[in-house]
Chain A
Amino acid sequence: MDQAKPAKSRALRVLGQIRSWLSQPSNIILLFFLIALTVLTLYPLLSMLTETFTIHTGREARAARLTAGTLSMYHFERLFATAENDYSWIQFYQPLLNTLLVSIAASLIAIFFGGTVAFLVTRTDLKYKKFVSGVFTFPYIMPAWTLALFWETFFKNVHIGLKTSNGIMASVFGVYMPEWFVYGAFPIALVLGLHYAPFAYILIGGILRNMDANLEEAATILKTSRGRVIWKITLPIVKPAMLSTLLLVFASSMSAYSVPVFLGSPVRFYVLSTKMKSLMDSYPGQAYIIVGVMILFGVSILLLNQKVTNSRKQFTTVTGKSGQISKIRLRKANRPIAVLLVILLLLFAVVPLITFAMESVIIKAGDYSLKNMTLDFWIGTHLEERLDQGDSTGILLNPKVWNALGFSLALAVTCALVAGTCGILVGYGVARKRGTRLAGWVNSLSFFPYLMPSLAFGAIYLAMSSRIPWLRGFLLLSLVGSVKYLPFASRSGVNAMLQLSGEIEEAAVITGVPWWKRMLRVLFPIQKSSFLSGYLLPLVSCMRELSLFVLLVPTSNTILTTMLMQYSEKGWAQFGNAINLLIILVVLLINYLVNKLTGASIDKGVGG
């Protein structure tokens, strides 16, 4: 029948199909993001892949005895199969094992700690819930390395590490912690686990909160014990959330750089990210291979996660009608558990802040007497005459600090606006075209930047930008930040859009409300707090981001975190601590203000 049709009719038909396909904004959005994300994530990935075969100038060319620009398997042979001087073992296999150990441990700690707290908060009558849930996101809002820094300054003592001085725990309380507790795999995993525990809290808590209590009640009526109900009913239902947490925490922990540097180096404990950083300077080819390996791990977990959540045992949509959740009564255990939790949270979230404040006012390390304290590092002038260390003015009087703060804020706001808006659009497109291949691609692509280690992502963009003259400075930073934080925004965007039935929009389509007006007047206001959370998470993450930007920050316009890192590396501890405190306070303030003004919050951003 088709053959009988004249060619003109067939052309008209195809044209009509294309036109009607394009007349749907969701299609245009998906097409746009497919192209944009391919360019912005797959292109860097491919260019990185070519780097792993390319011999670079300088040391690399000389060591390989090849001319720069040659394509070769040299980097692979060297990194994977060089027995001499235990090279491969030292540069790759040992760090790989350490990375896996730390990342898995961090994920488990995050799931256990975050999950337990989520359970206690949503399913029991725990006391001080408000405080617990309020403070629990602090460790995530704070840069991870600040917790590491705190850990070291708090617990170090003369028997471990440099064995030269005592931290607060030893000097004030006389408690000397063993080395494994302060340096190496344990504290790294713990710090990362605590830092990312809010993910678990938010994801698992979200399901527990919505879970139909009937599911548990049904089991209870069948005379199942409490413990068995949790083990056999509750846990399997939150399993997908636990896997998502595993994915998020594992991928983040694997690319964490500063925490292993602070807590690993003193005991010669190296992970892939630290090795990648040091290789990047002299042997970039091998560094990029490490990046590739890290991405590979991330992608495999992502696939595993997808496989599990796509299987028949999908519980994420279990939402209950029965609003009355029977809260477990903790009875006598209530107060002890609550107090323990509050103490833990104080230790992880509040004590670090106090420590930073203390360390920013003492002149000579380790001496916490009043005569050793000064506010010079905050508001002093002409410090070079008195201290001869660090800058000549306290940070609050230093225009560079204010400049950096302004730049950081501008960058964070820009990235948040771009990533957040794109996240909503991606969410719209994916939700509207759910089930189509295009939507699936865009959905996966928009999550991909999460799996790219920040440091490597920055390095790749730096390499890219050196070939594109106009891609510089603020533009480059905002682009990188927006792409890197898109996963947060697109996740909350997709979740928020999926919660809205298509009819809500179609009701407006029927009366001819144009697309932009539907977005602005109908969809956005309804899911306002979810969407705003999609803006908040990039904002907060961006404010405290270091690794992603460290290579790209224009020298003349530094951001607060790179400034902090410089100070910290130079050993200007007091300035460093002061800036650290400043960053944390600014981020907490932003979080608080956004939360109060709009009702958006970090937990809505991740959990949706």
Chain B
Amino acid sequence: MPEIILKNVTKKFGKFVAVDHLDLRIESNAFITLLGPSGCGKTTTLRMIAGLETPTEGTISIGDRVVFDADRGINLPPNKRDVGFLFQNYALWPHMTVYQNIAFGLENLKWDKQRIGNRVRELLEMLHIESFEKRYPSELSGGQQQRVAIARTLAPGPKVLFMDEPLSNLDAKLRMDMRTELKRLHRDTDSTFVYVTHDQLEAMTLSTRVCIMETGVLQQYAPPLEMYSDPANLFVAGFMGSPTMNFIDGRLHADGTVSFGHLAASFKGPDGFVPEEKDIILGIRPEYIHIGPDGELPATVYSTLPSGMETTVRLEADSLALTAVVFDDVDYPVDSKVLYSFRKAAILFDKASGKNFARGSLDRPHAV
């Protein structure tokens, strides 16, 4: 199973830099997600690896083959890269039946009829769409079309499978189902998946590693949980997790205390952390703000968003506006008084650069 390596890959459209000096190593058998807001260069990156787009700069190799090298003038066409590509809009050929859609690529590989028939049937079965064999795409629902598209992509048995926001056109429930199936498919097909999405939840739940990008620049490349708990910078921290992390302007003092709003607390950093005087942004995940009678600080409920399993609470405490999550089917009257406290991890971001420079915890913040 091949490993994909991107070195120094840049793509410019005229003066616009879509991807800027990207280095990436995708291990074999990985399920990688390229994540970021629209226009961040994630789709361009995917298309460059697949060979649908030509990089301006850099090298790309799949397995032991260099498929693109700007300096050596190497550029393998997509079909020589042994990859599959699942498109956002499925790109099913409307004038062909489900069977023909899946078989068309195989005919092209000069497979004999028997073999094609077997393979198509195998895939139809695998994706539970046997009964639609003779239908045209327009006669299928969105989810069924999606399955056909997947079957078509898998048909030639590609070693690497690229997926460009494949679930964005499905409704919420169907999306949930398909995620499960995709993850299962990843295991069953035993190939490398590269997946593009702007949905952080999808990235979190599906992938073995997430590559998060903004305006063409790689922000962080890490396993999803690591990225969640230790985001490299403000951008990553803000993008991962819903509801979003609380960002609070504050100041770090040389004595190791952090002051923010009307509060102050001593910050316990990792080993070897040497505090210095500077402006910071304090990052606290909503689930680390605890609400309950055992809370230490007073706040007013601004609004609540109960969803059954959990309730997102917006608090106002003096000059601070905080978001907290309570994992229970509870609700609070608006404008009621509650007590809260900070728990567990907090991250310090350098205000000037936005970089995460310390992950630790706040010790009993108190009003000053």
Contact = CB atoms under 8 A, between A and B. Distances in A.
B108 A517 contact: yes
Contacts of A510: 50, 52, 78-79, 83-85, 105, 153
A509 interface: yes
B225 interface: no
Nearest to A522: B93
* Smallest CB-CB A-B distances: 3 pairs: A16-B73, A512-B79, A511-B105
Nearest to A506: B52
B75 A16 contact: yes
B87 A506 contact: yes
B105 A513 contact: yes
Nearest to B68: A20
17 contacts: A12-B72, A13-B71, A16-B70, A16-B72, A16-B73, A16-B74, A23-B75, A504-B93, A507-B92, A508-B93, A508-B104, A510-B83, A510-B85, A510-B153, A512-B77, A512-B78, A513-B104
B54 interface: yes
Interface in B61-119: 69-75, 77-80, 83-85, 87-89, 91-95, 104-106, 108-109
Nearest to B50: A510
A508 B153 CA distance: 10
Nearest to A505: B91
Contact of B85 (A16, A507, A521): A507
Interface of A: 5, 9, 12-17, 19-21, 23, 435, 501, 503-504, 506-513, 517, 521-522, 525-526
A525 B72 contact: no
A435 B15 CA distance: 13
B71 A12 contact: yes
Contact of B88 (A13, A19, A503, A509): A503
A13 B56 CA distance: 10
A503 B91 contact: yes
Given A12-B71, A509-B52, A512-B109, A501 B91 contact: yes
B52 to A, nearest CB: 5
Interface string B22-66: 000000000000000000000000000010101000000000000
Given A503-B87, A509-B52, A510-B50, A526 B93 contact: yes
Nearest to B106: A511
B152 interface: yes
Given A16-B73, A17-B70, A513-B79, 15 more contacts: A13-B73, A17-B73, A23-B75, A23-B77, A503-B88, A504-B91, A506-B52, A507-B93, A510-B52, A510-B78, A510-B83, A511-B108, A512-B77, A512-B79, A513-B105
A521 B104 contact: yes
B283 interface: no
Instruction: Give the dominant DSSP class at A's interface.
Output: helix
Give the interface residue-count category, chain B.
20 to 34
B109 A507 contact: no
B89 A19 contact: no
Contacts of A517: 108
B70 A526 contact: no
Nearest to B155: A511
Nearest to A13: B71
A12 B83 contact: no
A5 B78 contact: no
B216 interface: no
B250 interface: no
A511 B87 contact: no
Contacts of B153: 510
B105 A15 contact: no
B231 interface: no
Given A20-B54, A509-B52, A511-B105, A503 B89 contact: yes
